[in-house]
Chains A and B, each alone.
Chain A
């Protein structure tokens, strides 16, 4: 699996957009980008995924650069409940189920 790099921590003001970057410069053409988050004392929660195109769902938006070497997860209006560790990982389709989680970004949403 390709390796990802994320900043260890970020702050965001409540109500503002949180933009979480991820570098995956060794990503292969058939590898998808997935985002998960983990709130304290809970298991990771799936947020969104994408291959080439930008994606949006009820939780977030995912912007993937044209060269696919980086992506940004956008929480449009961050709330205190969005405080969590956010993981960006890549996965090959039809793969043997290997998902490697890195250190993630600890997002702190402040009032």
Chain B
């Protein structure tokens, strides 16, 4: 148990569907992240939220839309995806206080397949 829970674990969707990925952290952290991990590629940072405010959008296409209603929950809304968007989507959290260190805690991801 990592303290970061992602649902669903697996998702298959068509290119015209709309779906959402959910992430919840039980660690009392104030920063949350979305990463994408495609087959045989490094993890790519997509979005960062600090204190519920989006502080980073790493040139992600608009078909991915994040939402952070509070510091414990993070969503990734998906619409009109492409097959190349099939990947493992990972959520992470950390405690950002300007401290010297703040390790990321990851969930186990949602395996997304776009057909």
Residue contact A97 to B50, C-beta cutoff 8 Å: yes
Classify chain A's interface size.
20 to 34
Alpha-carbon separation in the docked complex, A71 to B20 (Å): 40
Interface residue? B105 (CB, 8 A): yes
Alpha-carbon separation in the docked complex, A43 to B45 (Å): 14
Residue contact A49 to B101, C-beta cutoff 8 Å: yes
Known: A44-B43, A94-B98, A104-B42. A99 touches B104 (CB 8 A): yes
Interface residue? B66 (CB, 8 A): no
Alpha-carbon separation in the docked complex, A98 to B102 (Å): 12
Q: Which residues of B contact A93 (CB under 8 A)?
A: 98-101
Q: Which residues of A contact B109 (CB under 8 A)?
A: 42-43
Classify chain B's interface size.
20 to 34
Alpha-carbon separation in the docked complex, A49 to B56 (Å): 23
Residue contact B55 to A97, C-beta cutoff 8 Å: yes
Taking a contact as CB atoms closer than 8 A, the residue among B42, B56, B100, B106 that contacts A98 in the complex is B56
Not counting A46-B103, A100-B42, a sample of 8 additional A-B residue pairs whose C-beta atoms are within 8 angstroms of each other reads A32-B100, A34-B103, A43-B90, A93-B98, A94-B98, A96-B56, A97-B55, A97-B56
Show 23 A/B contacts (Cβ-Cβ < 8 Å), sorted by A. A32-B101, A42-B108, A42-B109, A43-B90, A43-B106, A43-B107, A43-B109, A44-B43, A44-B92, A45-B106, A46-B104, A49-B101, A51-B100, A87-B43, A96-B48, A97-B56, A97-B94, A97-B96, A98-B56, A100-B42, A100-B45, A101-B43, A104-B42
- List residues of B whose CB falls within 8 A of some A CB: 2, 4, 31, 33, 35, 42-43, 45, 48, 50, 55-56, 90, 92, 94, 96, 98-101, 103-109
